Amino acid sequence: MKKVFAIALGIVTAIGGFLDAGTVATSGEAGAKYGFGLIWAVILATIEIILLVEMVGRFTAVSQKTYADAIREKFGFKFYLFPLASELIAESLLLAAELGGVAIALSLLTGISWHYLFPVAALLVLVLVWSASFDIIENGPALLGLVTLSFLVGVILLGPPKLTLLQTLWKPPVQQGQFADYLYLVAAILGSTISPYLLYFYSSGAIEEHWSGKSLLLNRVTAIVGMGFGSIGSLALLILSAIVLRPLNMQAGTLGEIGLALAKPLGIVGSYLFAVALFATCLGAALEVTLAVSYNVAQGFGWEWGQNQNPVQTARYYTFMIVFLLIAVIIGLTGTDPLQLALFASTVIALFLPISLSPFLFIMNDPAYLKDKTNGWFDNTAIILILLIAFAVAIVSIPLEIITGGG
């Protein structure tokens, strides 16, 4: 019974915790600009994240090591600095975007400018990481995040899409001069879904929850069913934006604008549901990003770490966490729009994916860690292909986006 409950909780939290500022921004903008023309990218990214989460869970359950431990021990300190640096750059941008998302959600609920609410969001995250246990951080916002299923309700209430919109599924409406922007969004979708922070968070969480070889079923079900269904929220938001915002020529340029997509089928309740969904998903992601990067640094340098201990027992881990939060607050206080920041952070993550994840391929094929549970050829081929796609798209689209100024 306990096992069934653990599996159910794992699935539910994976569904509720799938979205974040990056996925909300990319799904909303993709639907509004290109109709269903980027659904393929969401599906591709979902397949990739299912594979990666299953692998990292298997790795930690069998080896009792986290991903950061393994990178440092197998490749040495010098190599470890590359994924670490890429994580610090990309995730500090992402954390600033997530805090901005929380602030905008609070702004939608209270009417106060998000600029004033940004420090409040940062303070809320600080208080939670300081005082809450791992279970609360993992499950609390994710359970609240189930409200993202209202996106699916919205799609059902709107009814079937028009044929012209359906055609965008196989014929994306990319007009002249928009190709760079299209590629930029592909990279952002891949980067926002396949965020390496998830790997650090998931593997550290497996240690926090004392996973062992017996947890492999829980891991597999959580990865496949939880992440698979979790992508429904992302797909539903993309479809909503395509049905509601695209005909109005709205580009989903802000998170608030994306929220209008839910207001059409559900009225004022839809607006509030979107605000709550945005709050829950961005808060959950902000907590996970903060923890993931702190876990990474603490494990890489061999410090005591863990969310289930008093802060004083893991003083270096908590000190880094506070410094990292401060960096994100400084980035956020520059006033950059959280949606644009989320898109940029997601594209940067896509660019860094080969650096972040290539060690993973080697580790997952090392019997010294995984005994007889190493990767098969399918896992390896799929990961390499998708990593290459993400990298190629990001490296082409970022300069193009800068040169063309987004047009």
Partner 1 sequence: MKEQQQEQVREQEREEIREEIAPREQILVMRNIMDNQLESSDDIEIGRVADIEAELRPDGRLVLTRLLTGPEALAGRISSRLRPIVHFLLRNHFEHSIPIDEINGFHPTLRLRGRAIDYATGESERWLANHIFRWLPGSGWKEWHEQFEQPATGAAETETAAETRTEETRAPGHATPGNAAAASHQSQHHSH
**Residues interacting with partner 1, by CB under 8 A?**
65, 69, 72-73, 76-78, 80-81, 130-131, 300-305, 310-316, 318-319
Please check whether residue 13 is in contact with residue 224, taking contact to mean a CB–CB distance below 8 angstroms.
no
Query: What is the nearest approach in angstroms of partner 1 to the Cβ of residue 285?
Result: 24
CB of 76 to partner 1, least distance (A): 6
CB of 312 to partner 1, least distance (A): 5
Taking the least distance from each CB to partner 1, the nearer of 193 and 290 is 290
| Of 173 and 306, CB closest to partner 1 | 306
The nearer residue to partner 1, 316 or 373, going by C-beta atoms, is 316
Shortest distance (Å) from residue 318 CB to partner 1: 8
How many angstroms separate the CA atoms of 4 and 218, rounded?
9
Q: Based on CB atoms, which residue is closest to partner 1, 145 or 300? A: 300
For residue 34, which amino acid is it?
Y
Angle made by CA atoms 190, 195, 200, in degrees to the nearest 5: 155
Nearer to partner 1, 85 or 330 (CB): 85
Orientation of helix 377-404 relative to helix 39-63, angle to 10°: 130
Q: How far is the CB of 2 from partner 1 (least distance, A)?
A: 26
**To the nearest whole angstrom, how small is the minimum distance from the Cβ of residue 251 to partner 1?**
44
Tokens of 313: 């027992």
CB of 290 to partner 1, least distance (A): 17
The nearer residue to partner 1, 75 or 179, going by C-beta atoms, is 75
Nearer CB in complex with partner 1: 229/303 = 303
